[in-house]
Amino acid sequence: MSGQELHTTEEWIRLLEEQADYTREYRFNLYKKVNIESKKKILDVGCGPGIVTADIASLTDGYIVGIDIDDKKLVYAQTIIPDHVDLTKANVLELPFGDNTFDLVVFSVVLPYIRDQQKAVDEMARVTQKGGIVLATGEPDYAGALYYPENKAVSPSLKYYEERGFDIRTGRKLKYLFRKAGLETEIGVCDHMLRFVNKDAQEQLKDYLDHFPESKQILMKMGWTEKQIEDYKLESVDLIQNGLSFSFVPAFCAIGRK
């Protein structure tokens, strides 16, 4: 699954720009930890519209390859990446590279869209050089999310994504997947997710309302009536405005050394 069923290309670009923005500080700390500036050949798996790829390119003069299965995202990426980056259409389950090609393979929010996650990680490990690193900078675990007061829209929303092949339990699987691929593995919790917990009420409300049209579409597809959706929205807005809404979606990183 590529996720194409979930959003249009334009929606994907907007969402990935937002995601790249709020994860940037945390990702850059991880890049520093793996000494990205010293890497000579880097593979960015699931590069999408190239926003994260451009971030990586700003930190190293090494040769970078970005791959994705979506032609439209790659076309957009071509407009923002520098000269030392090449883009190609490829599937992570069948990487078109020889064994031991890259000294760093990096990805972010890729595995939830892939049914055979072990095959994907095995392929990334295969093309990584001995002594190289496979780096997951943030794989979410929506099934482990915490909400208070309980959010009645969560269950139908998660069901919607699961029915379309999205794995809502990916984060907790990272250690298993990396170790099974033969990688010495260090797992971390992505602390950038705390920014959502500590936002002030005005910012939280803006985020909620900005993304509500998408939530509404999902709930309608899952059988909610207009009245149910409006009542849910009013209840949520009231909680947010009064600083009473709590939500936290855990995400995990992994550094795998070959």
Q: What is the CATH number of the domain that holds 50?
A: 3.40.50.150
Residue 58 lies inside a defined structural domain of this protein: yes
User: Does residue 209 form part of some domain?
Assistant: no
Q: Examine the pLDDT at 159 and tell me if it is beyond 70.
A: yes
Instruction: Flag whether pLDDT at 5 surpasses 60.
Output: no
Neighbouring residues of 76: CB distance < 8 A, sequence distance ≥ 6: 9, 13, 49, 50
pLDDT at 184 over 50: yes
d(CA 42, CA 19): 21
Q: Read off the DSSP letter of residue 137.
A: E
Average pLDDT over residues 145-173: 96
The residue with tokens 């032609």 is 71
Q: How far is 146 from 155, CA to CA, in rounded Å?
A: 12
Question: How many domains does the chain contain in total?
Answer: 1
Residue 158 lies in a domain: no
Find the mean pLDDT for residues 152-174: 96
Other C-beta atoms within 10 Å of 198: how many?
8
Torsion of the alpha carbons at 26, 32, 36 and 38, rounded to the nearest 10: 170
In a domain, 125, yes or no: yes
Cβ atoms < 10 Å from Cβ of 222: 14
Give the single-character DSSP code of 50.
S
Hey, what amino acid is at 213?
A: P
Q: How far apart are CA 59 and CA 37, in angstroms?
A: 6
Question: Has residue 176 got a pLDDT over 50?
Answer: yes
Average pLDDT of the segment spanning 163-180? 97
pLDDT at 82 > cutoff 70? yes
- The arithmetic mean of pLDDT across residues 81-94, rounded, is 96
Strand stretches in 141-200, DSSP E: 146-148, 184-189
Amino acid identity at 132: G
Where is 221: in which H helix or E strand?
Answer: helix 201-221
Does 253 map to a domain? yes
With vertex at residue 171, the alpha carbon angle to CA 166 and CA 172, rounded to the nearest 5 degrees, is 115
Per-residue pLDDT band for 6 (boundaries 50, 70, 90) equals low
Task: Check pLDDT > 60 for residue 4.
Answer: no
Q: Which residues contact 75 (CB under 8 A, 6 or more apart)?
A: none
Exposure string for 67-81, b = 16+ CB within 10 A, e = fewer: bbbbebbbebbeeeb
Q: Print the domain residue range for 109.
A: 9-142+167-198+248-257
- Go through 239-254 and write b for each residue having 16 or more CB atoms within 10 A of its CB, e for each that does not: bbeeeebebebbbbbb
Pairwise CA distance, residues 171 & 157, whole Å: 18
Report, as an integer, the average pLDDT of 197-218.
92
CA distance 22 to 51: 12
Indicate whether 243 belongs to any domain. no
Residue of 82, 65, 77 whose CA lies nearest to 124? 65
Whether residue 256 has pLDDT greater than 70: yes
Please report whether residue 238 resides in a domain: no
Statement: residue 1 has pLDDT above 60: no
Per-residue pLDDT at 142: 96
Residue 212 counted as domain residue: no
